Amino acid sequence: MPAHKPEECDLLLIDAIQKGDLETAVALYEPDANFVVSTEQVVTGQAAIREIMQGFMAAKATFNIESVTAVPSADGSIAVTRVKGSSTSPGPDGKPVTTPLHSVEVVRKQADGTWRFIIDDPSGEGLK
C-alpha cells in the first residue's frame, strides 16, 4: 500500500516492519534513497536498505508511537517527517529492551501522487 500523505510513509513502514513484510517496507523508498545506519554510516539504494530492513524485522520489535508529524515544503513536493516513540525488542538475554525512537525523514511526492522516502534517519542523530 503506498503512502498518500507524507506521514503515512512512517506509519506504513512501521506496520510493514512489525508484520515482517519486506517488500512493502522497501517499496516505500525511492531507488536511490539514503538510510542513516549510524552516525558514521549511510547506505544508499533499495538493495542496501533491504538488508537493513531484514535486520529490523529479525529483531521482532514492537513500536509505541507517540506522534508522527510532517512539515511540507512550500511547493508541497518534499516534506520532513518525524516520529517520536519507542521500540521494544528482545535483548541478548531474552528480556525486553526498549529504545527511544526520534526519527527524522525526508520524503518526496511521486508523479502518481504517492510519497516515498529519500532520506531516512531512524535515530534522528544524522552524521558526525
The pLDDT tens digits of the residues spanning 76-102 come to 999 999 999 999 999 889 899 998 889
Mean pLDDT of the chain: 93
**Domain of residue 89, CATH code:** 3.10.450.50
The answer to whether position 127 is within a domain reads: no
Q: Note the pLDDT of residue 42.
A: 95
Indicate the number of domains in the chain: 1
The answer to whether position 45 is within a domain reads: yes
The answer to whether position 86 is within a domain reads: yes
Q: Read out DSSP for the chain?
A: --BSSHHHHHHHHHHHHHHT-HHHHHHTEEEEEEEEEETTEEEESHHHHHHHHHHHHHTT-EEEEEEEEEEE-TTSSEEEEEEEEEEEEE-TTSSEEEEEEEEEEEEEE-TTS-EEEEEEETTS----
Q: Note the pLDDT of residue 94.
A: 86
The answer to whether position 85 is within a domain reads: yes
**pLDDT for 56 beyond 90:** no
The answer to whether position 126 is within a domain reads: no
Q: What is the domain extent for residue 28?
A: 6-121
